[in-house]
Every structure is written in structure tokens, then in C-alpha cells.
Amino acid sequence: MASASSSSPCSMFFEGTEKLLEVWFSASEDGGDLRSISRDDWETLLKNVRVDIISCSNDDDMDAYVLSESSMFVTKRRFILKTCGTTTLLLAVKPLLKLVKEKCNLDCVDDVFYSRKKFARPEKQHEIHQRFEAEVKHLDELFENGAAYTLGRINKDCWYLYTIDDEKISEPDQTFELLMWDMNPDKMMIFTREVSLDGPDASKRSGIDKLFPDMLIDDYLFEPCGYSMNGLLPGGLYITIHVTPEPQCSYVSFETNVSQESYNEMLSKVLKLFQPGKFLMTVFANKESSARNAHKDLEDNHIPGYTRLDHQFCKFKNYNLTYTYFSSRPII
């Protein structure tokens, strides 16, 4: 996804792989609402990350921000920040904790999730993000009981996760994420200014607008290429899609917290839309979620045109996690 301020043509390299942070807050005494934090305060926080707010949408449960490098979501006590390129996401964690305590009196961290796929060009990242070990060290200085994991093949594409070893989330929670690369060039052309006029035009041409009929969409098409979209559904549910269409580094991410007892239909729809050469899928679900048994559907999942190269199931805290990696061609 090209930055809003980028003037580079679509032949340039861009790191589409996102850094994803999710933090759940609570108060030791009376606490407020994260959504009471002003846009000005969020913009100040995001200067640490090197991103800007492009637009905002909201409903009764959530504020969703399209950023110059991906997205941010805010509910009463959950904060989600997803940034791509060479952003410095982890430099915002300490200021985030301070901001939330000062503005909302939310002084307890109930859970933390930080995750990302292996970067294509890690040497281009800020030093704090060049190695997962450095990211873990930084997070361990801020949180107690940290737990770090690597899933997949460490000498190929793999996926990193940092969390804390606590069980304080008692409400249903789940996340379905698809990270896709080696994309179909014809599909990627939709997300350029050569083909589409703007975000809504790209959403319509690609079929993204039909994924969930009742979805409130906020979308943006970058210049000269790249696309970001946030979708809101009632009940604090979100969908976010980010597209890096550059041929030499094509990448798409799809993420949602919509709960499904089986994610096979959703997976099929997304793959049909984007037609990746390779993709990595993760499914999180806690004990209270109706998606807690979705991993059983994925154990012997067969997807026409793809070969499953890795499949791992993890059970930690009160969450189940499934990691799966598919490719339409052998890994070289």
C-alpha cells in the first residue's frame, strides 16, 4: 500500500507486511472510555509511528480510522493499530499507556497481542523492528509475563506473535487474518489510479463492497496505487483490507473479528477476490467465542489450486490459535 504522501511509481518496493498491535485496557478503580480520547491526541500519538489519519468512521461501538499506512480501531477498552511500510509502531506503545491512563484512568493492561509476518526487506525497517528479538526485548520492558512465539519455517516465510500470559478477557473474542502475497496482477491493477477513480470505485470493481452487505465502508485509493479499507458491522465488529499492488512486492491483508463456527466460506470468498499465489492464515478464538472450535474445520482443509505447506495449532491462556500456510506453487 503506497503512502498518501508517496510520489513513487508503482514499480518501487513497498513493505506491505503490517505490524499489528492489540491492547485491552481496564481500570483498577472507575475508568473511562477510550473513545473519549480526541482525534488531536490520537494524531499526536501516531507521530511516534510516522503515520497520519486520513479519515474516520464510527458506529455505536467503534471508531475506525484509515491511516496513511493502514488502520486503527478504538472501542471502549480495546485499541488496535495496524501499520505497514517502515512505520515505527512499537515506539507508540509506551506513550499509548501514558495517554490512556491520563485521559481515561484505564491503568490496567488486561491483554496484549503484537504480531507480524516476516518482512520481505527487514533491513529497511527502523532498528527496533529489524529483528523480532529486538521487538520482544522492547515489549518485555513494558509488560510482565511476556510470551513470544514463532510459527512456520524460520528460514522461509513465518509469523511472529508476542502476548502476555494472563487470562483477563472474559468476553467473546476472535480474529481471522489472511496475509497474501504473489498476487494476481490483473486483480492488483484494480487498486491503481490507472484503473480506478477512487476508493469506492476500487471497492466496487474488486467486489469488496459485496463481502458483507450491511457493512459501513470507509475506503481510500492512494496515488499512484495502493488501497485501504475499514468496514464496520453492528456489535463492535470490523473488517479491514490493505492492498500493496506493486508487481515486485504485491501483498494483501484481510482481517476481521466477525465470529464464525467455520471460516471456510469467508476464506473462499477472499481468495476468489484476490487470487494470491501464497497466503498465511491465522485464527484466534477464546473460550467464550462461538469460533472457538473453528480450528477443527481447518485441520484437513483442502483448497483447490493450493498446497498446504504448514499447519500448527496452539493452545495458550484461554485462546486457541491456528496457523496455516498455503502456496499455489512449491517453495524454492
**Could you tell me the domains of the chain?**
19-327 (3.60.90.10)
pTM for the whole structure = 0.94
Count of residues for the chain?
332
Mean pLDDT estimate for the chain: 94
Task: Extract the C-alpha cell encoding 122.
Answer: 527487514
120-172 per-position pLDDT tens digit:
999 999 999 999 999 999 999 999 999 999 999 999 999 999 999 988 888 99
41-73 per-position pLDDT tens digit:
999 999 999 999 999 999 999 999 999 999 999
Could you tell me the pLDDT band of residue 244, with boundaries at 50, 70 and 90? very high
pLDDT over threshold 80, residue 311? yes
Could you tell me the pLDDT band of residue 7, with boundaries at 50, 70 and 90? very low
Long-range residue pairs from 50-57, CB within 8 A, at least 24 positions apart, any chain = 50/86, 50/87, 50/88, 51/83, 51/87, 52/4, 54/4, 54/220, 54/228, 55/218, 55/220, 56/218, 57/216, 57/218, 57/230, 57/232
Contacts of 238 (CB under 8 A, 6+ apart): 62, 64, 73, 230, 231, 232, 256, 257
Residues recognised as catalytic: 15, 18, 70, 84, 228, 242
Separation of alpha carbons 273 and 6, rounded Å: 26
CA dihedral sign, ordered 142, 143, 144, 148: negative
For the chain, the distance separating the N- and C-terminal CA atoms, rounded to the nearest angstrom, is 26
Interstrand relation of 307-316 and 278-286 (parallel, antiparallel or unpaired) = unpaired
Separation of alpha carbons 253 and 117, rounded Å: 11
